[in-house]
Amino acid sequence: MLPRWVTGTRVWRSCRWHSTLLPLAGDKDQIVFSGIQPTGTPHLGNYLGALQTWANLQQQLPASATIIYSIVDLHAITVAYSPDVLRLDREEMWRVLHAVDIDMERCIVFEQSAVRSQHATIDG
């Protein structure tokens, strides 16, 4: 059984992830949002720390729960980076999500950079 409120942050060598589980009105429905940075080759720490949890939540949560996972690629550009390497890392993360059996029909999965956001945009 999952706790009523779960929030957490874990930092691994090449991956940072955030996860929040929030009950909605009446505790009938839940929303899970979690993101992972595509900052290198995923490793055992990524799997044990985040990806395994993501895969397990698909079975543990009721069908009414909304599961949203994000590849937070904008968070990966807070240090010097190569656009070509970031593109490859993003593609690799998609392959990893499929490899750990993230059900793309059950979950909403998106790249952060695909969502236009006012707080992330500098308008002249």
Q: For the beta carbon of residue 99, count every other beta carbon within 10 angstroms.
A: 12
Residue 20: DSSP 8-state? E
All domains in the chain, ordered by first residue: 6-117 (3.40.50.620)
Of the two residues 45 and 99, the one the predictor is more confident about is: 99
Q: What is the mean pLDDT of residues 10-31?
A: 48
Task: Tell me the C-alpha distance between 55 and 98, whole Å.
Answer: 10
Which pLDDT value is given to residue 61?
A: 92
Mean pLDDT is lowest, of 23-37, 63-77, 105-119, for: 23-37
Mean pLDDT is lowest, of 7-16, 20-29, 60-69, 83-92, for: 7-16
CA distances for 7 relative to 12, 19, 34, 53, 77, angstroms: 17, 6, 10, 13, 24
